[in-house]
Amino acid sequence: MLEDPDELAVLEEIQQELVLQEQLVIEEYERSLQFDEECLNAMLDGLDASDKLICPVCRRNHLDVRNHLVSCQCGLHIGTQGMTEGKLRSLLENTLTEHSHRCFHNPEFTVTTGMEEEASLLMSCPVCDSWMILL
Ligand SMILES: [Zn+2]
Ligand SMILES: [Zn+2]
Walk along the chain (135 residues) in steps of 10 and give the mean pLDDT of each run: 76 91 89 74 59 88 93 93 92 91 92 80 95 92
Distinct helix (H) and strand (E) counts, the chain: 2, 6
Q: What is the pLDDT of residue 44?
A: 60
How many Å lie between the centroid of ligand 2 and the Cα of residue 123? 10
Q: What is the pLDDT of residue 70?
A: 95
Q: What is the pLDDT of residue 68?
A: 93
Q: What is the pLDDT of residue 56?
A: 92
Count structural domains, the chain. Answer: 2
CA atoms within 13 A on the CB side of 5: 0
User: Same domain for 42 and 55?
Assistant: no
User: Same domain for 27 and 68?
Assistant: no
pTM of the model: 0.60
How many Å lie between the centroid of ligand 2 and the Cα of residue 100? 7
User: Same domain for 84 and 103?
Assistant: yes
User: Same domain for 126 and 60?
Assistant: yes
How many Å lie between the centroid of ligand 1 and the Cα of residue 6? 63
Q: What is the pLDDT of residue 28?
A: 87
